[in-house]
Amino acid sequence: MRSKLHSYLGFAKKSGNLLMGYNTCIFAMKKNKIKLLIVAEDISENTGKKIEKEAKKHQVACRVHGTSDELSQMAGTGGRSIFGITDQNFAEVILKEIDKDG
C-alpha cells in the first residue's frame, strides 16, 4: 500500500509544486520559492551540510528522510536526492507525515 507521503509527493509533482535536484533547489531557495526541503539520508556528507546551511540561511524547513531511491520513486523520477516543495499546504502535510514517521 502506498503511504500518504508517497501520494503527497506524487500530487506535488503533478501540480508543479515539486522541484528536484541540488542546483534547482538552491536557486529556488534564493528566490524564496521553497517552503520545505527534503534531503535523502544517503546523500554525501558534504552536499548534505551545504544544502542544510542554505536552508537555514533562507529559513526553509529541512528534513532528512528516506533514501534517494525511495524518494525518487515516490516523485516518479530517478537519481534525485534533494526535493523542494513550493506550495505551503503541501509543505505542511508532508512535514506532518515525515515527522510522524520519524
Q: What percent of the chain has pLDDT over 70?
A: 96
For the cut 80, the answer to whether the pLDDT of residue 101 exceeds it is: no
Q: Which pTM was predicted?
A: 0.92
CB atoms within 10 A of CB 15: 11
Domain span at residue 25? Answer: 4-101
CA distance 11 to 34: 16
- The domain total for the chain is 1
For the cut 70, the answer to whether the pLDDT of residue 2 exceeds it is: no
β-pairing, 36-39 vs 82-85, is antiparallel
| Model pLDDT for residues 60-78, shown as the tens digit of each residue | 999 999 899 999 988 888 8
pLDDT of res. 102:
61
Write out the three cell numbers for 71. Answer: 524518494
CATH number, position 63: 3.30.1330.30
